[in-house]
Each structure stands twice: as structure tokens, then as C-alpha cells.
Chains A and B, each alone.
Chain A
């Protein structure tokens, strides 16, 4: 079921990649693409193991990585409160 990814990250606070994968409507491949896109736009920050090369992660890794954390960037958080 379709869920806005940015709203999900916004409402959950910092969230583990494997949990985000379960709660989002994207497949692991689509999720990585979207995350990379949001990261390039400066909307999110990804930290933890393998956070620098998201596109190289396999679907299995996406469903297992609990130490890789996705959260809103400070500028994105600022936009949320300014809107």
C-alpha cells in the first residue's frame, strides 16, 4: 500500500534501514533508488555501515541492516517546521 517515504521518515524519526524497508511500499531496489535521490537533494542523512554505497546493497542486506540509519536532514527538518 502506497506510503509517502519522506513522511514516513519524518514521523518515525531516525529509522533502521531494515525497518524502513518493511514499513515502506517500495521494493528494496526502489527504496534504495528513492533514498539515494532524497540524499542527493539533501532531504535525508544515512549513517552507519554501508551507508556510503547504498546502491550496492542487495535486497537481503536491505532487509537485514539494522545499524544503517535513515533520518531527516537538518535542512529538511527546518523545512517541515517552516511550512
Chain B
């Protein structure tokens, strides 16, 4: 039967993508961009999914082997076993096969290296996304009345569900940026005003994500 190992592959891939997604939010303190748009993330998730599909082939539902007991939870039904293997395969992948003076080797090392590769690629993509966003919308932003206040209201609204230290961290940056408000009269073609608008736009994108601009007429 092809479906049970496919279930294991699919669910393991989704679990890995979710783990990477949550890591960005928790560790980097940033709103994650859609992770499935990154080829590196998809390749990494698929590789882990393949491990799950192979691991499934070592289970038979009788509970005779360690793999069957730990990953397959002794499930006799192959479909349910495919699901459990898919959902629990990270236990196998991230198992520390050995440890030398606290250094990770084995599956944990491979998994962390893969995740790091995904994170580094997402960082690069995030900068490119923000740069393209500003390229498309900076002129519109500079022409929008009360842009700064409106954007900051939306940003504060978006982060109000976040923990206090997160909100204080973002608020601190807002205050710092506002202290750099150009002293010259507003001029949309002046470099300092363009930098100022670009900075508050990036700030909002980092902590509230692109959805902060939903409903803004003319913004792409």
C-alpha cells in the first residue's frame, strides 16, 4: 500500500515546516513570512518526510521493534500508523545518537544544520521582500496623508496580543525612529524623508507582517 507511507511523508513534512515557522516567531521575534514559499524549507521538509516514509517501512504494528513501539505506537491499522509515524518522526530524527562533551552529533546535528540553512535562506528572502515592498510602495507611502500615525496604530494593534517584553521591544524601536524624524520640512523627494518612511515601513513589516497593509488602497 502506497498511502500509509505517503501519509507519514506528508505529515512529517508539515510538522517540520511548522517547527521552522514557530522557531522564527519564538527565537527571532519576527513575524514569519509564509514558509512554504521557500524552496529550501520545502526541500528540508521533504527530506525529513522521506525519513518518515522509510521509517514507516520498518514498522508492522506488532510492537516487536523499537521503531514500531516509539514511532508507530503499535498501531495495527496501517493508515493510523502512517499518521503516527509522520507526527512522531522528529523524535527519531532529533535523537542524539551519541554525545561528546555535550556536542551534538547524529540526527540532532543534521536536523539543526538543516534548520539553520532554512533560517539563513529565509533571512535573505525577508530582506529582499522588504526591499521589493518598499520599491513598489514607497512613493505611495510618501503621498499618503498621516501615513506614519496610521501605520503605527495598525502595528500596535497587531502586536497587542504579544507578550509585554515583545511590545516594549517594538515600542522602544518606534521611539528611537521617531527621534530621528528629519528636521527639514516634509519633502517626498528628499533622501532623509525617504529613509525615514522606509524605516517605519520595515519596522511594521518586521513585527506585524505584510498583513498590516491589508485594506490600504494602492499598496501592493
Contacts and interface: CB of A to CB of B under 8 A. Distances in A.
The binding surface of chain B is classed by DSSP as helix
A22 B127 contact: no
Given A14-B127, A71-B123, A77-B120, A25 B176 contact: yes
Interface residues of B, number: 32
Given A1-B172, A66-B195, A74-B120, A23 B28 contact: no
A21 B199 CA distance: 10
Contacts of A19: 195, 198-199, 202
Interface in B144-196: 169, 171-173, 175-177, 180, 191-192, 195-196
A78 B27 CA distance: 11
B136 interface: no
Contact residue range for chain A? 20 to 34
A74 B180 contact: no
A21 B195 CA distance: 11
Contacts of B207: 11
A21 B176 CA distance: 9
B115 to A, nearest CB: 6
Interface of B: 23, 27-30, 112, 115-116, 119-120, 123-124, 126-127, 169, 171-173, 175-177, 180, 191-192, 195-196, 198-199, 202-203, 206-207
